Amino acid sequence: MHRQKQGMIIEITDQDFGREVMQCKLPVFVYFVAPWCHTCYPTRLFAEELAEEYYGRVKLVKIDIEESPEVAERYHVIAVPTVLLFRDSQEVKRLLGFQDRRSLRSLLNGATAEEGMLIEGTVAESRRI
């Protein structure tokens, strides 16, 4: 089992995907890469910078499509880099190609804002009962 260290993106495989992404209670940022991908590296650097800020609110994972092609095929990842955001085991957002810090921050802010609204809604609903 992989544990996300504070401020780190963890590498997962096809075999880890169910446990690390589909069963995770947090929103999950899934970053698909390949060793030959030149635009993957700067996007990864921006994501790693943001990993510290969002630690504990969003789980960040990376999948190499050459080492783990099954998940990439299942989610129709045809270009790298590709970022998928999952919530409650469902894909909710997809970003294709190079992403700068601003677009990644926007994605993560949206994920944490929606998560906050869900939590507040649950608390509000439970108070009414």
pLDDT digits (tens, 9 = 90+) for 6-25: 568 999 999 999 999 999 99
10 Å Cβ neighbour count for 50? 21
Is residue 47 situated within a structural domain?
yes
What tokens were used for 82?
């590709």
Overall pTM surpassing 0.85 (yes/no): no
**What is the number of domains present in the chain?**
1
Q: What per-residue confidence (pLDDT) applies to 127?
A: 33
Q: Determine which one of 37, 71, 80, 111 is catalytic.
A: 37
Q: Determine which one of 9, 30, 40, 51 is catalytic.
A: 40
Domain of 76, CATH number, reads: 3.40.30.10
Is residue 4 situated within a structural domain?
no
pLDDT > 90? residue 52: no
Closest CA to 111 of 91, 85, 88, 89: 85
Q: What per-residue confidence (pLDDT) applies to 111?
A: 86
Is residue 2 situated within a structural domain?
no
d(CA 60, CA 20): 10
pLDDT > 80? residue 116: no
Q: Residue 114 phi/psi, 5° resolution? A: -65, -35
Is residue 82 situated within a structural domain?
yes
Rounded average pLDDT over 91-99: 93
Is residue 1 situated within a structural domain?
no
Is residue 5 situated within a structural domain?
no
Domain residues for 21? 10-128
Is residue 76 situated within a structural domain?
yes
Identify whether 24 is a catalytic site residue: no
Closest CA to 56 of 7, 22, 120, 12: 7
* pLDDT tens figures, 24-45: 999 999 999 999 999 999 988 8
Is residue 121 situated within a structural domain?
yes
Decide: 70 and 14 in contact? Cβ < 8 Å. Answer: yes
